[in-house]
Structures are given as structure tokens and as C-alpha cells.
Structure 1
Amino acid sequence: MTAHFLAHMGISWIIIACVVVAILLLSVAWLRPAITACKRVSATGIGSVAFFYGANVHAEQFEAFDTVVLEPDSGFDPRAHTAHCPNWYAYVSVGEVTKQRAYYTKMPQTCLMGRNEAWASMVVDQTAAGWPEFVVGEIIGPLWERGYRGFFLDTLDSYQLVAKTDAERARQQAGLVAVLRAVKARYPQAQLILNRGFEILPHVHDQVAAVAFESLFGRWDQTNQRYEQVPDNDREWLLGRARTICERYRLPVISIDYCPRDDDARRREIALKIAALGLEPYVTDGALQTVGVGSAALEDIARPTKVTFKR
């Protein structure tokens, strides 16, 4: 219709064709960054990962990463930063809650069944009536409306602080499974990364994008406020879980490790060790308040295509 109008006005078809081609070329140039920016994500599902819980999020600091997990209470708006590479994930605590969360006052007190003294938080009863619906409606829903399409589900093992028998643990695990299924039922396109949750993976592995755990080489002791090296037996146990996740479920595995924020050499050393095992590394400070080292900074090394479990 536009071409006919322009022709009627006396503008030649050659000029019209040139204008159309120019518009198409400009459109491709404008869209190209969005198309190519995160090309690595399609290979693993998550690519290079960062976790940042600071209050001031500067999007440009994370352009080297493919996936970035943020503290949603920071006020960051992912809708305003869609042209950059990272896929923005929101941190969501499923197993614990603090009074600072906006939804805390809406939670029935029957949902709370214990306390984590180290983090000054309350442990959530995963079997509480209506809990899956609450997570979907009061936690995930508002974040989805804000533009988040990925969610990092944390504190999935917190029930173990209170549940002391096999039967109690089994009920809590069934509750967690119900929560994840409720999220995916309401938001099928939601991408989920689990922090541990090893016990429920047989039931939900087909609904998650990756599995993370903390402290393969360096850890943070919240109670005593200090950094520590991870004992060999703890590391071997985690690597056993990683082997199962990689070989049985074909999921990427992320190790989040910790060391002092001013020790750049140690950060890179730990990240290299994790990457050499075939896992996705991220090394940061104990409070996750600084931009750490991930695989995006290790592109100059050869990485194995599977978990090798070498020290």
C-alpha cells in the first residue's frame, strides 16, 4: 500500500526499493546485538553465571556474563536492560524467610516451623496448606510482572534444620516438589536454577535449567565471619552429587565459591580449579556484594566437556 502511494506521488520504484532495503538493513543492524549477545547460552542453557546480591546493580558490569542472579529487593528493573547479554534471574528463598521481605506479613504463621540463627531467618514448613500457591502468587508472580523470567531457588535444604526423621524429611521434600511444579504450571517458560535440592532432583530434574551448590574449594563461615578452605571429604561428597547431576540428568552444575574480595589471584585460582573439573565456576565474597570471577574471565583456557573429578 505504501509503495503504491509513493508511486502515485511520482516517486520512482528504484527509489522506493532503495528506501525499503535501507530500512531492512537498519532493522537487522538494530536487532543484531540482541540476537548475538548471548549466543553461548544456547549451548549450555545458562552460559557464564554471576551471583550479585548488592543493592546497587550496574548492568554494564555484567555484560561479560550470560546469566546473572540478583537480589530482587535491589529495585533493579530487568525490563530496562534487555539489550545486554545477561539473562536476569531473581533470587528466591523457598526454605527460609526474613522479616525484611515484603511478603512476610502476608504469610500465615503456620508456615513457619523453626529458625536459622546464623542468618536470622525463619524456616518455612513446606507442607503448610496453601504454601505452593503463596509462592506462585505472592513471590514469583510479582517478580514475573517486573520482567524476571529466571529464578534462583535457594534454601531448599533448610527443612533439615527442623525435620529430624525420615518421614518428616520425606514430607518436606514432597512439599518442595509441589512448589516447583506449581511455579512451572503457572509459568511454563520460567527458567529455574536450584541451589542444591539434591533429594528432590529425581522428581523435578526435567523442570530446571541448572543446579548450583556452594563451596567446592573456598567457603564462608557465616557464624564466625571468616573464610575457610573446604575439607577434602566435603569436596568429594559434592563432586559425587555433581557426577550424578551431569551424567544422569544432563544438567549444568555451578559451584559458587568464596574468598576475600581483595584477593583477585585467589579468586581466579579457585575459578580455574572449578572449571578444570568441568563445572561452571563463580567465585565472590561471602556476602556476594562484589562482581566475582566466572568462566567469562577464563576463556583463554581449555575446559573439559564433562565433569572429570580431578583435584
Structure 2
Amino acid sequence: MAQHDDDRRFSLRHLLGLVSRFARMAAFGALASVAHAQDAVSTPAGPSIALFYGANPPIDELARFDVVVVEPDARFDPRAHPKTHPAWFAYVSVGEVNPHRSYFSAMPRTWLPGVNEAWASHVVDQTAPEWPAFFVDKVIAPLWKKGYRGFFLDTLDSYQLIAKTDTARAAQEAGMIRVIRAIKSRYPKARLIFNRGFEILPQVHDLAYVVAFESLYRGWDASKQAYTEVPQADRDWLLGKAATIREQYRLPVLSIDYCDPADTACGPATAARIASDGIVPYVTDGDLATVGVGPAGQP
């Protein structure tokens, strides 16, 4: 009888030991899964991207990034730096045009039905039948000839300043889609970064290289010349858009945020917050005239 009791106690101890072992293994596996998920979030998928719109871009500093977007009118020549690391992208505005652009005088005034007072620029009517060909011929082609192989397409939502009905907005969006397709038709190897353009992504997401937006955590108020904190509701809306872009379209997402360069802690802290959301960060000044902070390991 005593022997049977010992056997039962042994079996019970053995069983409890196995349960404890499996519990520890399960807990370890769960912790490992969480750690892996956290690592995946903290390391954004996508190229590191800088935007520098000042004159004389500091090549050595910017060479740490995979892609650098520059203002082409700043007289930067990408052909002079063919062996540097970054791919040089040109900033181009699709939805608006400033009078100082070389092609402005060739645009019929009927194409410019509105004004963006904040930037002293004219809103372009995307429904103009000749606009896609004009944009490729007068804007993209000269930049391609200069050596640019990528383009940052800005002001993709400016049509909303002139289109006030669903029908008008749909017509503007269809026109913008024609512009983007015209670029890729002429230059199939061109890489395009969309700045927003959420409304047209269902039709042209396959033509995008990266989708960008501004001010996930920190913004820049051009009219007040002031740095701002982004309201939580605005941030949640952008995070929802980012999730759709990453999960449905499998595209990298870039957030361009703004900090006062004098606040040396703001840039790294903001970049870390953006990266923790699984989004590629770039934090710079309001004029994009200094080399900002990118993902961990970047400037």
C-alpha cells in the first residue's frame, strides 16, 4: 500500500512538473512573440528618407539616408553626385503652382481657378484635358533629363480647395489619376512618393513607392510661423490611414514632422514615437532647410 502511495505521489509530482514546464515554455513563447512584435514595430519597414529644400544640400550628411528629396529649383545637380549613397528625388507640386516656377507662364489661366493664400500659390484644375501631358512635358521631363529618377508628388489634396461637391471632387481625382499614370507611362522606372493622396490610392497605389503625410505628432503652422502639437483626433485619423496603406497596399509610410532645431530633444523623441508606430520618421524644421532626424542610426 505504501508503495502504491509513493507511486501516486511520484506520478502527481511528475505531472505537476510537466504542467509547470509547459506553462513556462508557453509563457516564454508568449513573451518572445511580444518582443518580436515590438521589434517589428520599432523598426519601420521602408527606406530612410530625408527632405532638404535649402540651397547647397550637405551631401555628406544626407548620404546617410536611402532617399533624399530636394527642391530642384535650388540648382542642385544630381548628375554631379552619381556615386553618393542616396537616390535623389525632386520635389514637384501636382495640385498647385507658384508663379516663380518656370512653367507657370505657359499655363492657361483657365487651369488656375483657385488660390492657396497660405502659400501664395494657384490651385490647378486637374480636369483640364491637356494638363497630364503638360505636366509630364514641362515638369517631369526636364527633371528626368537632369538625372532625377524619383519624384515627391506634393499637394495631392489641394483640389479640395476648389471642388465643393462629390461630383466635382470625383472629377478632380480622376484628373489627378491621369497625371500620375501619364508620369509612369512616359517613365516606367520613375519612383513616386505620394504626399497624402488618400482618396486616389485605391486606383494608383500600385504606382507608388512610398506614401507620405505630414505632422503625426509635431506640426508647423506656416501662417503663424509656429511649431505645434498635433491633436490626438488628427493623429488617430492619420494612424488609421497608415494602417490601411501598410496592410492593404503593402506600401511603406513616411511621416514628416516638425520641431524647432533649437529644441535638440524634440527631433529624436518625435522620431522615436513615429517609429514606434511602424512608420518611417523624418523630423525637420518648418522650412526643411536643415538635415533632420530619421530612423534610429540616422542623423
Instruction: Flag the 1:88–1:252 CA change in 2: closer, same or farther, 3 A.
Output: same
Q: Distance in 2 between the 1:297 and 1:229 partners?
A: 25
Q: Is the 8 A contact 1:48 1:296 kept in 2?
A: no
Q: Secondary structure at 1:185's aligned position in 2?
A: helix
Question: How many pairs does the alignment contain?
Answer: 257
Q: Secondary structure at 2:113's aligned position in 1?
A: strand
Q: Distance in 2 between the 1:69 and 1:79 partners?
A: 15
Q: How does 1:96-135 map to 2 (within 5 A)?
A: 96-135=96-135
Indicate yes or no: 2:236 matched with 1:236: yes
> Which consecutive segments of 4 or more residues in structure 1 shift more than 4 A?
none
Q: CA deviation at 1:79?
A: 1.1
Q: Distance in 1 between the 2:164 and 2:223 partners?
A: 22
**With CA pairs under 8 Å and 6+ residues apart, which has the higher RCO, 1 or 2?**
2
Output one character per residue of 1:144-198: Cα deviation in whole Å (capped at 9) or x when no partner. 0000000000000001111100000000000010000000000000000000000
Bigger mean CA offset, 202-211 vs 57-66 = 57-66
Two-structure CA RMSD over aligned residues (Å): 1.5
- Structure 1 runs not aligned, ≥5 long: 1-43, 300-311
Q: How does 1:1-311 map to 2 (within 5 A)?
A: 47-295=47-295, 297=297
Instruction: Flag the 1:279–1:238 CA change in 2: closer, same or farther, 3 A.
Output: same
Q: Distance in 1 between the 2:82 and 2:193 partners?
A: 20
Q: Is the 8 A contact 2:136 2:183 kept in 1?
A: yes
Q: Distance in 1 between the 2:176 and 2:269 partners?
A: 35
Q: Structure 2 counterpart of 1:56, which letter?
A: N
Q: Structure 2 counterpart of 1:88, which letter?
A: W
**CA radius of gyration, larger in:** 2
Q: CA deviation at 1:124?
A: 0.4
- Structure 2 runs not aligned, ≥5 long: 1-43
Q: Is the 8 A contact 2:284 2:293 kept in 1?
A: yes
Counterpart of 1:19 in structure 2 is none
Output one character per residue of 1:38-81: Cα deviation in whole Å (capped at 9) or x when no partner. xxxxxx99511100110222211211100000000011111111
Q: CA deviation at 1:129?
A: 2.2
Q: Is the 8 A contact 2:45 2:280 kept in 1?
A: no
Counterpart of 1:20 in structure 2 is none
Q: Is the 8 A contact 1:156 1:196 kept in 2?
A: yes
Q: CA deviation at 1:295?
A: 1.1
Q: Structure 2 counterpart of 1:119, which letter?
A: W
TM-score w.r.t. length of structure 2 = 0.84
Q: CA deviation at 1:226?
A: 0.7
TM-score w.r.t. length of structure 1 = 0.81
Bigger mean CA offset, 50-59 vs 142-151 = 50-59
Instruction: Flag the 1:67–1:186 CA change in 2: closer, same or farther, 3 A.
Output: same
Q: Structure 2 counterpart of 1:138, which letter?
A: K
Q: Is the 8 A contact 1:46 1:209 kept in 2?
A: no
Q: CA deviation at 1:225?
A: 1.2
